[in-house]
Amino acid sequence: MMLSVENLSVRFATDGGTVHAVDDVSFELAAGEILAIVGESGSGKSVTAQTVLGLTRAPNTTITGAVRFDGQDLTQLNDRQLRDIRGERIAMIFQDPMTSLNPVYRVGAQIAEMIRAHRDVSKGEARDRAVELLASVGIPNPERRVRSYPHEFSGGMRQRVMIAMALALDPDVLIADEPTTALDVTVQAQILRLLEKLNAERGLAVVMITHDLGVVAEVADRVAVMYAGQIVEDATLESLFYDPKHPYTWGLLGSLARLDQPRPVRLAQIAGQPPSLIAPPSGCRFAPRCPHAFEKCAEPPPLHDGDRCWLDLEQKRRLRDVDGRIGLRRAVAT
């Protein structure tokens, strides 16, 4: 296993109470694999991703659990040691490339800065490498564009620049935090294609954070679904779409608009809101919104056989069928 997250919990102490952003999250990433972590805003997926690289460390943050990489537990490393991993072995790209690049420095300089932070090379060599990298992600005229500023690129191109920068030192793992959310759909496809290419050609393992099941379907090998700070389902791509085992997943799938089916009167929603992370429910966190909740759900279900739900397999396969497709039955009004 390339990267192994074990029972990771992240808590933030705030004036309003302790926020349990990430609660007992575990997943694994194999070499060369693309793992998608799906969830809505506030599910804790970004915090998880950023915690891997130690980016959430702060005086009011408590991190428990382990992040195992290359024989080390990253949560136990100090800042200096982490710096050797960041960019070098594990790289990360973020959601909004416009704000993720410093607007006052040229793009080439920012890439070169990263290279020279880890390798003993001259400015000229670093710059040449930057040009190569820009070319490798498909930016035309790289010798000229290397001297451009971030705002002189379009959104898609900027994200390519971020990817180029992330690849500068040939890392083993790329964590992509919603890399296409801020982009147009057509550009999105290009970026995903690029990531797939990198995965195929270099064996780059990718952790793809997203809220978009369409993106998941495009690129993922495995999927982990997060809800309210926990992983509620962990499956292969096929399994997730054809044999999902958690009601929340059913809800997500059910809410997708489908071209191959008659148009519904309205798009299905999951009723209710995600719980507050300051005082999360003591039992199953999805239970308040789940039409299939029963007495056992007052006990927190463990992650077992890839899902976190007390229903047995046969019940799951039956209940998820709503009028011929997978979905979450609307709760009966009480």
Partner 1 sequence: MARFIVRRTLGMIAVLFAISVIVFLIFNVIPNSDPAARIAGKNANPALIARVTTDLGLDQPLPVQYLTMMKQIFTGELTSYASSQNVVEQIWKGLPATFSLCVGAAVLWMTLAVVFGYLSAVHAGKFTDRALTVLSLVGISMPVFWLAAILLYYLSFKAQLFPTSSYVPLTKDPANWAYHLILPWITLAVLFVGFYSRVLRSNMLDVMNEDYVRTARAKGLGERQIRIKHVLRNSMIPVITLFGLDFGAVVGGGAILTETVFNLNGVGLYAGQAIGSLDLPPLIGVTMFGAFFIVLFNTIVDVLYAFLDPRIRLGTAAPA
Partner 2 sequence: MGGLIGEVEAPGEPPLPVGVPAEELRGSSPWRLAWMRLRRDRMALAFGVLFVLIVLVCLAAPLWADHVAHTGPNQNHITDKVIRDGQETYVVAPDGTPLGPGLHGQFLLGADQNGRDVMVRLLYGGRTSIFIGVIAALVTTVFAVLVGLVCGYYRGWIDAVLSRALEVVWAFPVLLLGIALGTTLSLGGLKIGSLVVAGDSLWIPILIIGFVYVPYMARPIRGEILALREKEFVEAAVAQGKGPIRIMVSELLPNVASTIIVFFTLNIANNMLLESSLSFLGAGVRPPNASWGTMIADGYQTIYTAPHLTIVPGLMIVLTVLALNVFGDGLRDALDPRAKIRLEH
Residues lying near partner 1 in the complex (CB under 8 A)? 50, 53, 55, 79, 82-88, 91-92, 94, 96, 99-104, 113-114, 117-118, 145, 148-149, 151-154, 156-157, 162, 165
User: Quick one: 59 or 124, whose CB is closer to partner 2?
Assistant: 59
Q: Are 311 and 292 in contact (CB under 8 A)?
A: yes
User: Smallest distance, Å, CB 20 to partner 1?
Assistant: 22
Please, what is the end-to-end C-alpha distance for the chain in angstroms? Answer: 47
99 binds partner 2 (CB under 8 A): no
Residue 87 partner contact from partner 1, partner 2, none using kind-dependent CB cut-offs of 5 to 8 Å: partner 1
Q: Does residue 98 touch partner 2 according to CB under 8 A?
A: no
User: Rounded to an integer, what distance in angstroms lies between the CA atom of residue 270 and that of residue 124?
Assistant: 55
Q: Does 58 bind partner 2 (CB under 8 A)?
A: yes
CA 132 centroid distance within chain: 28
| C-beta closer to partner 2: residue 92 or 311 | 92
202 binds, among partner 1, partner 2, none (CB under 5 to 8 A by kind): none
Q: What string marks each residue from 242 to 281 as x (binds partner 2 by CB under 8 A) or -?
A: ----------------------------------xxxx--
What is the C-alpha to C-alpha distance for residues 142 and 205, in angstroms, rounded to an integer?
26
Q: Which residue has the tokens 């369409």?
A: 214
Q: Specify the residue, 103 or 262, whose C-beta has the smaller distance to partner 1.
A: 103
Residue 142 in contact with partner 2, rule: CB under 8 A:
no
Looking at the Cβ atoms of 57 and 147, the one nearer to partner 2 is: 57
Q: Is 308 in the site for partner 2 (CB under 8 A)?
A: no
46 interacts with partner 2 by CB under 8 A? yes
Q: Which residues pair with 325 in a beta bridge?
A: 322
Residue from 3, 25, 33, 45 in contact with partner 2 (CB under 8 A):
45
Distance CA 66, CA 36 (A): 20
State which of positions 2-21 bind partner 2 (CB under 8 A).
Answer: 10, 12, 14-17, 19, 21
The DSSP bridge pattern shows strands 90-93 and 205-210 to be unpaired
CB 206 within 8 A of CB 176: yes
Helix, strand, coil percentages (3-state) for the chain, rounded to 5, are 35, 25, 40
- The answer to the question of residue 59 lying near partner 2 (CB under 8 A) is yes
Q: Which does 256 bind (CB under 5 to 8 A by kind): partner 2, partner 1, none?
A: none
DSSP string, 6-18: EEEEEEEEETTEE
φ/ψ of residue 12, rounded to 5 = -110, 130
Segment interacting with partner 2 (CB under 8 A) among 53-61, 84-92, 148-156, 199-207: 53-61
Q: Cβ of 196: how many Cβ atoms within 10 Å?
A: 15
Read off the DSSP letter of residue 300.
P
Among 261, 284, 286, smallest CA distance to 273 is for: 286
Q: Which residues bind partner 2 (CB under 8 A)?
A: 10, 12, 14-17, 19, 21, 41-47, 50, 56, 58-61, 276-279
